[in-house]
Structure 1
Amino acid sequence: MKVMKLALALALAAGIGSCGKPSGPGAVDAERLAAADQNAEWLSYGKGYSEQRYSPLEQVTTANVGQLGLAWYAQFDTDRGQEATPLMVDGVLYTTTAWSKVFAFDAATGKLKWSYDPQVAGAKGFDACCDVVNRGVAVWKGRVFVGTIDGRLIGLDAKDGKVLWQTQTTDKSRPYTITGAPRVVKDKVLIGNGGAEYGVRGYLSAYDAGTGKLLWRFFTTPNPTGAADNAASDKVMRERGASTWGDGEWKKTGGGGTVWDSMAYDPTLDLLFFGVGNGTPWNHQRRSGGVGDNLFLSSIVAVKPDTGEYVWHYQTTPAESWDYTATQHIMLADLNIAGQTRKVVMQAPKNGFFYVLDRATGKLISAKPYTNISWATSVDPATGRPVETPNARYGAGPALAVPGPLGAHNWQPMAFNAKTGLVYIPTNVTPFAYTDDRGFSYKPGAWNVGVDFLANALPTDAATQKAVASMIKGQLVAWDPVQQKAVWTVDHPYFWNAGVLSTAGGLVFQGNAQGELAAYDAAKGAKLWTYKAGNGVIAAPMTYQLNNEQYVAVMVGVGGGGQISAPGFMPNRPRLPGRLLVFKLGGKATAPEFKVPVRPAADLTNVNSTGDVQRGFALFHQNCQVCHGPNAEGSWLPNLKASPMLTTPEDWRSVVIEGALAPRGMASFARFMTPQDAEDVRAFVISVAKAPAAAPEAPTGARAAPAAK
């Protein structure tokens, strides 16, 4: 009976070619998306409109998951972070890689059908706060839509990848980026953007799926000039938003509030939900003089998809001051609460509270911490506002807070399983020392956070590093959203792990920083199966059924915003090419071990600098640590301590000041540093490079190979 029901659902969902419905490759329409949660394909980023990331497929179960083997794999030409969730539509698997490249494969065999490279300029990588990643595509009526790191939205032909139209969604003179996956609702392609740390003003836009024409835009912060925007947000910003902002640096930066990831849609209520990011600068005191809640920062907003008209909002972190975004995964579900079925919105944003809201009104139903937090004790059920701890806003001095700006939950998607009633949340336990930058002034194009990063330099001695590392970990938390409590928890040794998939086979799939994909019992949390991927996994897996076989697919490639690879914090891994791994029961394929380039560190024995080491320490942590890691310990970009550019002041200056490596993403810092500043930074990096270091950890499933000449 289950097989018959599934076959019927598939037939209904795939009914194309008649009654005026689209036909051919990528023929997704509203009817198919409305049924997507219950079919064997994966039609949208979170599977369907509800974004639950749950599949009804049950061929792979707790009893036989140990028989999963590799069916096929593909290797890509970029070694940056891989965050995409592939889509599977009509036997074709569509995915993206870093640098916004798109690939289409035969979902059964892995044969490449087509690929598309938007040719993003390498220098644009400078504007990407957290790697040049991309989370995937949307498919609709024969078109594949992708947002690019340089702010374009592109419509491709699903059959061959040819460009049908492209639209610049951002002001190219500002440091906007796009890393999120588009969604399509009612022939409208929805896309936001990133760049809040650098100084931009956030918004969500809707474009005509057929032509790329802008249909409406909703700004999430007031116009700094006070003028109307002729946008969908004008009325609510005039009536409710603008009065919540005081005077401050936001009038120079734009205030932030970028809509860089989460969206969901309820076709019954005809409401589109989206999450809003942090303020610019982070520090509320610097941003708006400590005045007002600053709508719509850190909010879940509901609008009408036809026009962008505001319906309701819920602000998870009023007067946000910690980079506590609400752009984390939003999902819709029907929950039995106190004997009544409630249509809810659920989110576990960065601030550490799990929120359950009424979907029609945005009213708070419940909120509880889903992990350890220190900045607040609870959410007041009457006001919906967090009850903050003393000096949480670090006005009276430095405050060590959990979570830090990486959040208790970042972009990595969670999943909901209606059978178990649990939400599976990939969480981070990462403290951060917030310190008011009293000398803050806006620097166009630079990081503008109003927080002194010097307080978060890593300790240089091994004993202190070990003590700090013991405070940091990752977890997979199985959360009961009705009782608001954890049912089971899996601890990971490193904090930056992957998104989650749940299935009707009683399984939860998640990758981790160690380079492993694992399957857990959805009810109990027991680990039932693992696969050594050879490279860290941060993307969420997905699953589909084709030719009576269930497949599980995941993008592999470490990167993104949490890549501190100092000993004890993250595995010290070389950068390796991204891969797509696809599994099925009895799969017999094998992927070759990665060839790890051997890149000897520069010989610094007789290398010195006339620069000021202490001044370089400060300049490095103010300008360089986000990409290159605290104390130059390494991140998702090259380890500066091993760079041959250190050997001479001229080589170093050619990169830092003259922009010699701009095509590879290392833009010139001449806007922010003088040549003497650059030499001071070089002096600091040389000093830490010569300090004793722990031996690097090679990734499992990798072998050394000579560096290319």
Structure 2
Amino acid sequence: MRLSAITCGIGLLVAAVGPAVANDSVVEATKNPQNWAMQQGDYSNHRYSKLDQINTDNVGTLRTEWSFSTGVLRGHEGSPLVIGDTMYVHTPFPNIVYALNLDDNEKIIWKYTPKQDPSVVPVMCCDTVNRGVQYADGKIFLYQADTFLVALDAKTGKEIWKVKNGDPKVGETGTSAPLIVKDKVIVGISGAEFGIHGRLTAYNISDGKLAWRAFSTGPDKEMLIDPEKTMSLGKPVGADSSLKTWNGDQWKIGGGSTWGWYAYDPALNLIYYGTANPGTWNPVQRAGPGGKPIDQKWTMTIFARDPDTGMAAWAYQMTPFDEWDYDGINEMILADNMDIKGEKHNVLVHFDRNGFGYTLDRKTGIPLVADKFDPAVNWATSIDLDPNSADYGRPVRVASKSTFKNGQDFNTKNVCPAALGSKDQQPASYSPMTGLFYVPTNHVCMDYEPFKVSYTAGQPFVGATLSMFPAPGSNNMGNFIAWDASKGKIVWSKPEEFSVWSGALTTAGGLACFGTLEGYFKCVDQKDGKELYKYKTPSGVIGNVFTYEHKGKQYIGVYSGVGGWAGIGLAAGLTNPTDGLGAVGGYASLSNYTALGGSLTVWGLPS
């Protein structure tokens, strides 16, 4: 039976047998390639579809099948969900959700419009984005800007339960897509630029009650860390592993927000996610005794946790004592049986803001490969992977690119990458056809000048002025690359004028598709990056490409609606070059190519 009329099929089945099979509802929905049932495509974050009706031979004949205006401007991230004959569309603030009937000319079945206080908008760091709704157990889960997590009846749009996850008055906001695992819905928190206390939280799917909460920094008990069982680089983290690496009680306003994409390994029963930058961006104010660098664990970290209890299995910190805002929140992609130096590993692959692509053993958290996925990266030369080294697992830094010298603020020039990283939240895709990862990247550098800032709840806690520009010696600000994670090598690279701020999709048809900030939707050949199709959408694309099948026909779609950090100048009407945390000046010419919008465009082959 097709997964049509979402709650008539899976929803009633789950309701009949109870919440223990909530995980099964997601698994079954994602097994069917006709659906796009998770924002990530599947639990492994592959963003890969087995559909192959649209392929390298015929993609050049794609035509626009239909489009839909969301009625909202500013940045449109994430993608719709498709379950059976219903599509679920979301918007940036105020986070409207539409259910569309694919059997009836995309007629609106229901519309949910949250009642949110607009005062949340000024504390949304980098535009009013939302990365999408998720589905499980006959419910649609929406994580609103004001941090309310809402469970909606997927058939009617009726609110089932609603719970508050944070406080916008202290700078806490909601931008991430939830993760559904078993009988829990898991959400993060945004707001490191306001000195919030980052955390990951799980609620019961059935009633919205709190199941567990794990903070990114602080006491072991609050972080759900076992000093003897939680590992880092193969060794127990030890007691007070976070507290020992902060100056006094700065960890309480230490950032470590969790607004990225999460993955889940059912075999190991572990969820994986990353934590963001420490607050403030001024490293001098975070220095330890004697004005010396101190790690500030566990910001900038990949965590593996048990979804039932929240207890941390392992943690790996990528950028200790961050000096450049290199958040670790980017997606975790899981791949099996990867051959690394003649040995097979089930791995986690992560393209960090710091410009290094990491391949870790996902059971132990041990780094196996770590190399630059943009050759412009110059703040560090490499990652020390020698287990016998005192600096094992740490970056080998370039002293001239430090923003912290002799305990003093320092205006550092030509740091690569810029604070928005060699890749931000825009998710990469893994294709089992090639064994390669297809990565939307930023080819952007910066000047970084810290300044002293005081903490006030609900006020920006940044403490740095940035200027951004294309990497020296190049005119382009982005590339779309194919990456071999077993070797840490770029296989091919396709330059783009602006950063590629759209999530990638790969398919069994041999395609890799993405969008550009100017507004182009593009599909290339997975093997060599040859461009096979492009179409100019109404606005810049920062949404994630998705695909589905309906009545025997494959469709590919994407949101257009410029915004996000790179497009914040257009989205918020900013003109000062250093506004938008430095992005306004770097992307000033974007206004010559696109304007604000908010729409969904869907393509298919000619009938």
TM-score by length of 1: 0.75
Q: What secondary structure sits across from 1:391 in the alignment?
A: helix
2:58 pairs with 1:64:
yes
Task: Classify 1:127/1:308 alpha carbon distance in 2 versus 1 (closer, same or farther; 3 Å).
Answer: same
Q: Distance in 1 between matches of 2:482 and 2:591?
A: 25
- What are the within-5 Å matches in structure 2 for residues 128-207 of structure 1? 128-207=124-203
Task: Classify 1:300/1:18 alpha carbon distance in 2 versus 1 (closer, same or farther; 3 Å).
Answer: closer
Corresponding position of 1:617: none
Corresponding position of 2:349: 346
Deviation at 1:544, TM superposition (A): 1.0
Q: What secondary structure sits across from 2:285 in the alignment?
A: helix
CA contact (8 A) 2:226 2:311 kept: no
2:252 pairs with 1:232:
no
2:519 pairs with 1:515:
yes
Corresponding position of 1:302: 304
Deviation at 1:78, TM superposition (A): 1.1
Corresponding position of 1:631: none
Corresponding position of 1:432: 446
Letter in 1 for 2:316: Y
Q: What secondary structure sits across from 2:150 in the alignment?
A: strand
Q: Distance in 2 between matches of 1:271 and 1:111?
A: 39
- What are the within-5 Å matches in structure 2 for residues 54-133 of structure 1? 54-99=48-93, 100-107=95-102, 109-133=105-129
CA contact (8 A) 1:200 1:254 kept: yes
* 1:448-499 per-position Cα deviation (integer Å, ceiling 9, x unaligned): 2232x1x63x8xxxxxx99989555111011111121111111111125311
Deviation at 1:349, TM superposition (A): 1.0
Corresponding position of 2:362: 359
CA contact (8 A) 1:245 1:291 kept: no
Deviation at 1:214, TM superposition (A): 0.5
Q: Distance in 2 between matches of 1:416 and 1:49?
A: 12
Corresponding position of 2:234: none
Deviation at 1:357, TM superposition (A): 0.3
Deviation at 1:93, TM superposition (A): 1.2
Corresponding position of 2:420: 406
Q: What secondary structure sits across from 2:239 in the alignment?
A: helix
Q: Distance in 1 between matches of 2:511 and 2:172?
A: 38
Q: Which protein has the bigger strand share?
A: 2
CA contact (8 A) 2:315 2:365 kept: yes
CA contact (8 A) 1:22 1:28 kept: no
Q: Distance in 1 between matches of 2:500 and 2:198?
A: 26
CA contact (8 A) 1:249 1:286 kept: no
Corresponding position of 2:260: 261
2:504 pairs with 1:505:
no
Task: Classify 1:402/1:249 alpha carbon distance in 2 versus 1 (closer, same or farther; 3 Å).
Answer: farther
Deviation at 1:362, TM superposition (A): 0.4
Deviation at 1:420, TM superposition (A): 1.1
- What are the within-5 Å matches in structure 2 for residues 479-494 of structure 1? 479-494=483-498
Q: Distance in 1 between matches of 2:400 and 2:456?
A: 27
User: Which residue, out of 27, 41, 44, partners 1:34?
Assistant: 27
Q: Which has the higher contact order (CA 8 A, sep 6+)?
A: 2
Task: Classify 1:311/1:532 alpha carbon distance in 2 versus 1 (closer, same or farther; 3 Å).
Answer: same
Q: Which moved more, 1:132-141 or 1:285-294?
A: 285-294
Gaps of 5+ in 2: 231-236, 387-391, 570-583
C-alpha root-mean-square deviation of aligned residues, in Å? 2.8
Deviation at 1:403, TM superposition (A): 0.6
Letter in 2 for 1:368: D
Deviation at 1:517, TM superposition (A): 0.4
Deviation at 1:444, TM superposition (A): 3.3
Letter in 2 for 1:117: T
Letter in 1 for 2:250: W
* 1:58-98 per-position Cα deviation (integer Å, ceiling 9, x unaligned): 00010011121122111021111100221111221112111
* 1:91-146 per-position Cα deviation (integer Å, ceiling 9, x unaligned): 21112111122111123532221111112222210000011110101111111001
Letter in 1 for 2:24: E
2:272 pairs with 1:273:
yes
Deviation at 1:576, TM superposition (A): 3.1
Task: Classify 1:17/1:434 alpha carbon distance in 2 versus 1 (closer, same or farther; 3 Å).
Answer: closer
Letter in 2 for 1:572: N
Deviation at 1:255, TM superposition (A): 0.1
Letter in 1 for 2:602: V
- What are the within-5 Å matches in structure 2 for residues 473-622 of structure 1? 473-563=477-567, 564=569, 569-572=589-592, 575-586=595-606
Task: Classify 1:147/1:466 alpha carbon distance in 2 versus 1 (closer, same or farther; 3 Å).
Answer: closer
Q: Distance in 2 between matches of 1:10 and 1:337?
A: 39
CA contact (8 A) 1:37 1:50 kept: no
Corresponding position of 1:672: none
Task: Classify 1:242/1:338 alpha carbon distance in 2 versus 1 (closer, same or farther; 3 Å).
Answer: closer
Q: What secondary structure sits across from 1:30 in the alignment?
A: helix
Q: Distance in 2 between matches of 1:536 and 1:515?
A: 4
Task: Classify 1:122/1:573 alpha carbon distance in 2 versus 1 (closer, same or farther; 3 Å).
Answer: farther
Q: What secondary structure sits across from 2:562 in the alignment?
A: coil
Q: Distance in 2 between matches of 1:421 and 1:467?
A: 29
Deviation at 1:173, TM superposition (A): 3.2
Deviation at 1:249, TM superposition (A): 7.9
Q: Distance in 1 between matches of 2:10 and 2:113?
A: 30
Mark the structure with the bigger radius of gyration: 1
Task: Classify 1:18/1:316 alpha carbon distance in 2 versus 1 (closer, same or farther; 3 Å).
Answer: closer
Task: Classify 1:395/1:472 alpha carbon distance in 2 versus 1 (closer, same or farther; 3 Å).
Answer: farther
Corresponding position of 2:578: none
Deviation at 1:571, TM superposition (A): 3.5
TM-score by length of 2: 0.87
Taking every aligned residue pair, what percent have the same amino acid on both sides? 34
Q: Distance in 1 between matches of 2:604 and 2:509?
A: 14
CA contact (8 A) 2:216 2:298 kept: yes
Q: What secondary structure sits across from 1:570 in the alignment?
A: helix
Q: Distance in 2 between matches of 1:539 and 1:248?
A: 41
Corresponding position of 2:577: none
Count of residue pairs brought into register by the alignment: 562
Q: Distance in 2 between matches of 1:215 and 1:395?
A: 41
CA contact (8 A) 1:73 1:110 kept: no
